[in-house]
Amino acid sequence: MADTMKWVMNHMPKTEDKNLPIMSVEEVKKARTFHQSFPQYKETPLTKLPKMAAYFGLGSLFVKDESYRFGLNAFKVLGGSYSMAKYIAKETGKDVSELPYDVLTSDKLHDEFGTATFFTATDGNHGRGVAWAANKLRQNAVVHMPKGTTQTRLENIRKLGAKVDILDLNYDDCVRQAAKEASETPRGVIVQDTAWDGYEEIPSWIMQGYGTMAMEAAQQLNEQGIDRPTHVFVQAGVGSLAGAVVGFFSNLYKDNPPVFVVVEAEAAACLYKGAAAGDGKPRIVDGDMQTIMAGLACGEPNTISWDILKNHVKMFVAAPDWVAAQGMRMLGAPIKGDPAITSGESGAAPFGALSVLMTSDDCADVRKELGLDETANVLVFSTEGDTDPQRYKNIVWKGLDK
C-alpha cells in the first residue's frame, strides 16, 4: 500500500449548468418506464450495511448492487439499450414512449426500421450491454476492446452475437476506431458513453438510461425511511455514469443536494487532474493506463458530464488499485450481521475510497470537511459484480491485487 489515495476539493469556477436538464426527473422517468417494459427488468437491490455504518461512524450506509442487472452482472446495459431505442425512435419519427420492449422487438417495427450496425468501444461492461441490446432488438453490433482486456470479457460479448476483437490500442483510441468504422459503414451508428464536440446526442441518451439506477436508489431509500442521502459516492471512467448520478440527484434534491464524491482509478484520473488544475478545463490522461479497474481505465472526459460534475461535485478521488481491492474484500466479507456483496474491481472503487476516508487517521480533516459523521446517510454505487470471475477470485481469495 505504498501508493496513497489522493483527493482534491472542487474549487473550479461554476458555469451556467446548461447540461443539467439532460438529467431532469422527467427525462429519467421516461428512461425508467422504458426499462420497466423489458421482461428481464427488476429493481436491483439497495443493500443496507448497518454494522459497517457503525464501524465507520456513519448514520447509515447503503450500497446499490448492480450485479443483478438484467442478468448481465453490471449496470451498463441501461445506457446502451435506452440510447438504441431513442435512436430507432428518432429514425422512425416516434417518441421513445411509443416503443416499449414488445413494440421495439416486433416484426412490424423491424420491417419499418430495418437493421443498423451499432459500433462501440468498451473495457467490457458497456460493450456487453450494447451487444445484449442489439441481440434483443435484432440489430448488429461491432465491439472493439483495448489491449489488456481479458478473454473472459471478450467471450461474454461474443456469446451475444456481436463481432468483437481486442485491438493493440488503449480505450480512447478504440473509441476513435469505432467512430471511424461507423462513419464508413452504411447505417453505421457509434454508441459510445462518452461525448466530444459534435457527438453529444447519443451520449446524453446513454446518461439518461443510467438514470434508471439512480431513480431506483432514491425510491428504495425512501422505502427504508431515508428522505435523501446526505452523501453519494460514485465511480468515474469518462464520467458518464458519475454525471448521470450527480445530475439526477442534483435535480431531484434541488434545494438540498447531497455531497458528491467521485472516485477514479489513479492510472486514468482525468477528472481528478482537471479538478486539481482548478481552471475548469478538462484534462486528458493517455498511455496504457494499467489498472485492475478496467471499466474506469478511460483518460478523456465526457464533455457533457464534465460540465455537470464541475458544478456539483464536492471532491474528486484518485484511487490506487489497492483501494478497489480493499473495497472488494470488505464488501465480500463484511462485518457479521451485514449481507455480503459481490463487487468487481470497478464496482468496489467508491466503497474502497469510503473505507479509507473513514478509517485512516490521515483523513480526519477531510472527513470533517465532508460531514462524514454519525448524522450522514451515505449511498454508494457498486456498478458491477464479478464480471471477470478469475480476476475476482485472484483479488478476493488470493489477495493478489491484480
What is the set of active-site residues? 76, 123
Cell 483501494 belongs to residue: 323
Q: Are 380 and 64 in contact (CB under 8 A)?
A: yes
Which residue, 52, 4, 11, is CA-closest to 315? 11
Strand ranges of the sheet holding 117-121, from the earlier edge strand across to the other edge: 163-166, 140-145, 117-121, 188-190
DSSP 8-state symbol, 114: -
For residue 134, give every residue at least 6 positions away whose Cβ sits within 8 Å of its Cβ, in sequence order, or none.
Answer: 84, 118, 140, 141, 160, 161, 162
Q: How far separated are the first and last CA of the chain, in Å rounded?
A: 13
Give the ranges where 260-371 is alpha helix by DSSP (H): 270-277, 303-312, 321-332, 349-359, 364-370
Question: Residue 144's beta-bridge partner residues?
Answer: 121, 165
Residue 308: φ, ψ to 5°:
-70, -45
- Compute the distance between CA of residue 34 and CA of residue 82 in angstroms, rounded to an integer: 7
Strand ranges of the sheet holding 231-235, from the earlier edge strand across to the other edge: 6-9, 315-319, 259-265, 231-235, 377-382, 60-65, 46-48
Q: For residue 389, give the C-alpha cell.
A: 470471475
Q: Are 206 and 79 in contact (CB under 8 A)?
A: yes
Alpha carbon dihedral 32, 36, 38, 41, in 10-degree steps, equals 100
DSSP 8-state symbol, 384: B
